Amino acid sequence: MRAYSSVLLDLDGTLLDYPGAQAAAVRETSRLMAIPEDLFGDLMTFVNSPPVQAFESCRPGAPALGDDAVAKAFPAVPSIQPAAFLTSYFKALSKRGDTIEGAHACLKSLRRGRKLAAVSNGLGHVQRSRLEVSGLTGFFDALVISCEVGVAKPDPGIFRMALDLLGAGPGDAVMIGDSVSSDMAGAEAAGMDFIFVSATGEVRTAGRTVAVVGSISEIPELECFR
């Protein structure tokens, strides 16, 4: 396994606890808007629905908050408009800096002698705020967020932007992430090696994957980072 001078890392699901942050933000928004607790599950389904996820990532063709695709995915909540709910939800989400166990220690170790970039699909103000609250911002030399740069994972362009900011080439860097469809596929398309953080320890495709770990706490112990 080669040594790398630069490391690109996904945020949600890799360093930041996205499901936990989502749940807390939905509960806070429901409290503020007096939405019954028994709608929590429906609202979680809504914020994870394809149109909302496309909007949050600024993917090509993503709907606006007021579009029919968003309205159709919204559960029946009397007197609440989907756009109003989502505006409040994203504000609440921006305050959630929940991290995955081992995130700080992992970044502290990777930082020694290397440059780090975060590559994230998401709304710029939300992701930057969450990173700040989490205390992780200072570990990164660059932060590339899909809604700020107009390119979303798995498009290799977003990875190349991060590499350019670090002054690195694809052969000098490795991508670390938890998604086969966005992180792994995008790294492969950009010509980069990939470390897969898999809760099950399984990976169904090889590609340029150089390691599979069950937790980010295992990453500093990999041969390439020792």
pLDDT at 73 over 80: yes
- Structure token pair of residue 67: 């579009």
What pLDDT is stored for residue 200 in this prediction? 73
For residue 150, the cross-strand partners are none
Q: Is residue 150 classed as helix, strand or coil in its secondary structure? A: coil
| Residues whose CB is less than 8 angstroms from the CB of residue 210 and which lie 6 or more positions away in sequence, other chains included | 1, 174, 193, 194, 195, 224
The mean pLDDT value of the chain amounts to 94
Segment 196-218 mean pLDDT:
80
pLDDT of residue 1 exceeding 60, the answer is yes
Residue among 127, 155, 124, 122 at smallest CA distance from 52: 122
Q: pLDDT confidence of 98, banded at 50, 70, 90? A: very high
Q: pLDDT band for position 166 (50/70/90)? A: very high
Q: How many helices (H) and strands (E) does the chain have?
A: 10, 6
**What is the band of 210 on the pLDDT scale with cuts at 50, 70, 90?**
confident
Residue 22 scores a pLDDT above 80:
yes
C-alpha Rg value of the chain to the nearest Å: 18
> What is the pLDDT averaged over residues 210-216?
90
Q: How far apart, in whole angstroms, are the C-alpha atoms of residue 6 and residue 25? A: 33
Q: What are phi and psi of 197, to 5 degrees?
A: -90, 105
Cα torsion angle, 118, 124, 127, 133, sign:
positive
How many CB atoms sit inside 10 A of residue 34's CB?
A: 9
Separation of alpha carbons 161 and 79, rounded Å: 43
pLDDT-derived band at 72 (thresholds 50, 70, 90) equals very high
Q: What is the pLDDT of residue 201?
A: 63
CATH numbers and ranges of domains, the chain: 6-17+98-225 (3.40.50.1000), 19-93 (no CATH)
What's residue 82's pLDDT?
96
pLDDT score, position 209 = 78
Quick: pLDDT tens for 122-153. 999 999 999 999 999 999 999 999 999 999 99
